[in-house]
A and B are shown apart, each in its own frame.
Chain A
Amino acid sequence: MSTAAIAVELQEIQRLTQKRKPSKRGLEAAVRAFTHLARELPAVWDELPEDLRRMLVDLAYGIAEPPEPPFLQGFLGKAYAVWMVLTGRTREIATLYEAGMEFADVVLALSERESAELQEALGERLKELTKGKREGLLSYEAFADRVLGR
C-alpha cells in the first residue's frame, strides 16, 4: 500500500468519523477501513512521513477515546490495538494500557474472534507488556515497608 493510498484511506476515515453525528453505517465503514489500514501498516510504517504517522496516532486516540458510543470504542479500540501489535509498538501499547483504554475488552474480543496468528502476536506483546506489571507488584511486607517508611 503506498503512502498516498494510506493518506486517502485516512481522509476517508476522518470524513466518516468526524461528523457531528456520524451514522452507525458510517462508523462501521470507518472501523472496516481502519482495520484494513491496521493490517497494511506494518510493512510501510517506517517509510511513512512523520505528519502521516502523527495523524494516524491522533486519529486512533481521537476515535478510540470517549465520549464516542461504546460500540465504537470497542471496534476501533480493537483495530488500534491490532495495529499497535502488528507494528510492534509495545511502548505505545503500554501507554494505551496505562491510559486505561478498553484494553481488557480488546484482549477478550481478540481471543474470542480473531485469527490464531493475531492472538499469538497479541499474546507475545501482552506478555512483554505485563511482565513489567508483574514485576511491579509488591509483596505485603514490601508494601508495608514502603508505605510506613520502615
Chain B
Amino acid sequence: MSWVVEVLPEVVEDDLPAIERSFKKALKSKRAAKRAFQAAKEEIVARIGQLRSGPNQPQATPEPRPANAPDLALWKIRFRFKISELPQGTVNFCRVMYAVAEDVRAIVVIFVYTHAEYSSRPDDRELRRRLLAAQEWARERRS
C-alpha cells in the first residue's frame, strides 16, 4: 500500500525560489541558471515522488527534531544534483526534509533546500513552525 505524500506550500513559494536565486548567483549565464533550475526541479519532484513507497529511502536518514517540536518523525534525504552546468560547491548539495505520520501512512515534505541557503539546516524556529503545520494536517487526517 502506498503512502500519501503532501507538500507544504512554503516549499513551492519560498524554498524553490531560494534555490533558484542560489543557482543564479552560482552561474553567470541566466540561460544556464534557468536550465539548471529546471533540471533541479525535475530531480526534486522525482525524489519526492519516490516517497510514495515509504519514508525509508536510499540516502534518507532520521533527523533530530528541534526542541518542543510536534511529535512527528523527521527525516532528511541528502543527494547531489547531477547537473553538468552547476559548479562544484554548496549549491549542489540538496536536502529534502519530511515529517512522517506513520499511523496514517502519510508523509509531509516540509523543507527543500541546498547548502547554499543553509550551511547545515534551517533554524529550529522555522522547522518547528512547519512541523506544526504538518502535525495539524495529520491530526485532521486522523479524525
Q: Which residues of A contact B128 (CB under 8 A)?
A: 100, 102, 104-105
Pick from A13-21, A31-39, A41-49, A134-142 the stretch touching chain B: A134-142
Q: Indicate if the CB atoms of A143 and B136 lie closer than 8 Å.
A: no
Residue tally, chain B, CB below 8 Å to A: 32
Residue tally, chain A, CB below 8 Å to B: 23
State whether the Cβ of A3 lies closer than 8 Å to any Cβ in chain B. Answer: no
Q: Indicate if the CB atoms of B137 and A134 lie closer than 8 Å.
A: yes
Q: Indicate if the CB atoms of A103 and B7 lie closer than 8 Å.
A: no
Q: What is the interface of chain A mostly: helix, strand, loop, or mixed?
A: helix
B53 CB to closest chain A CB (Å) equals 12
Please pick, from B11, B132, B140, the residue contacting A103 in the complex, using a CB distance under 8 A: B132
Q: Which residues of B contact A107 (CB under 8 A)?
A: 132
Most interface-central of A104, A108, A130 (chain B CB within 10 A): A104
Measured CB to CB, the nearest residue on chain B to A138 is: B7
Measured CB to CB, the nearest residue on chain A to B108 is: A137
Q: Which residues of A contact B7 (CB under 8 A)?
A: 137-140, 143
B115 CB to closest chain A CB (Å) equals 21
Pick from B24-32, B44-52, B75-83, B86-94 the stretch touching chain A: B44-52
State whether the Cβ of B70 lies closer than 8 Å to any Cβ in chain A. Answer: yes
Q: Indicate if the CB atoms of A147 and B132 lie closer than 8 Å.
A: no
Q: Which residues of A contact B140 (CB under 8 A)?
A: 134
State whether the Cβ of B34 lies closer than 8 Å to any Cβ in chain A. Answer: no
State whether the Cβ of B104 lies closer than 8 Å to any Cβ in chain A. Answer: no
Bound complex: CA A137 to CA B16 (Å) = 16
A86 CB to closest chain B CB (Å) equals 21
State whether the Cβ of B121 lies closer than 8 Å to any Cβ in chain A. Answer: no
Q: Indicate if the CB atoms of A133 and B42 lie closer than 8 Å.
A: no
Bound complex: CA A100 to CA B14 (Å) = 14
Measured CB to CB, the nearest residue on chain B to A101 is: B125
State whether the Cβ of B97 lies closer than 8 Å to any Cβ in chain A. Answer: no
Measured CB to CB, the nearest residue on chain B to A98 is: B129
State whether the Cβ of A61 lies closer than 8 Å to any Cβ in chain B. Answer: no
Q: Which residues of A contact B137 (CB under 8 A)?
A: 133-134, 137
State whether the Cβ of A8 lies closer than 8 Å to any Cβ in chain B. Answer: no
